[in-house]
Amino acid sequence: MTQRPSPTALTYSANLNCILLGRQIHAQIIKLGMCNDTLSQNNIIKMYTKCGFLASGLKVFDEMPMKNLVSWTLVISGSVQDGEIEMGLGVYLGMRRTGLVPNEFALGCVTKGCADLGDKELGQCVHCFVLKVGMEKNPFVGSSILNMYAKLGDLEDAERVYECTDNHVGCWNAMIGAYAQCGYGFESLMAMSLMQYRGIRVDAFTFINALKGCLVVGNLNFGRQIHGLIIHSEVAFSTAVMNSLMDMYFKNGGELYALKVFSIAM
């Protein structure tokens, strides 16, 4: 009986960014006559796209006799992450024409692509589709659409999306970040305060986005208050949070505080 190469081996090569090992495993799969095995082909696409060889992943995708939702999603995600956004959006439209319903990961990548391209019209079409299939309550989809509108500078639509979502921390974080990104620093900080008032547990992304709001306001005292909350939280030693704190202090004239954070992080 022919034994299928373990998907773990392809994952291992992708995590190591070792294209040589990945190509060797791909060659072994071809040698074993498993080119029609959808699971193996999906893992090969994932390996190539994670290693930065999008063209090789697309070749595997094009030659697949049977493509499933995972196949399409991997190519959409790989294209957007590689900066080939128009290609990714084209693949998404191709998937829609097959009748497949995109999952939350595909929709997240597509909304990011729309924002990066500044294509609000397509973004609104994606939003309408999400409403049509009833995925607007999905926290990942909701926060992705919210982020898209914020990046497009449409805070009004971002707020409307937020109002339709459940009290999930990801959606709160997205709204806090949206206010900061659109230049509404006080509103960003107020959203974080309201989040805590309602008993929603904050995480590292909450603090990172709130610190962006502090930068917009330009108030060092607000930043120090958030620093106090961070110290008493579970993310006090998060590298990303520490970096955001130092950035806030340096840009608000608190160099000594920034150096203290740096010494603690070290």
> Taking 50 as the threshold, does the pLDDT of residue 124 lie above it?
yes
> Taking 50 as the threshold, does the pLDDT of residue 184 lie above it?
yes
Mean pLDDT for the stretch of residues 94-99? 94
In which band, very low, low, confident or very high, does the pLDDT at 1 lie, cut at 50, 70 and 90?
very low
- The rounded mean pLDDT for the chain is 91
The pTM assigned to this predicted structure is 0.83
Higher pLDDT, 90 or 266: 90
Q: Model confidence over 36-88: pLDDT tens digits?
A: 889 989 999 999 999 999 999 999 999 999 999 999 999 999 999 999 999 99
Q: Model confidence over 142-179: pLDDT tens digits?
A: 999 999 999 999 999 999 998 888 778 989 999 999 99
CB-neighbour burial class of residue 8 (10 A; exposed 0-12, middle 13-18, buried 19+): exposed
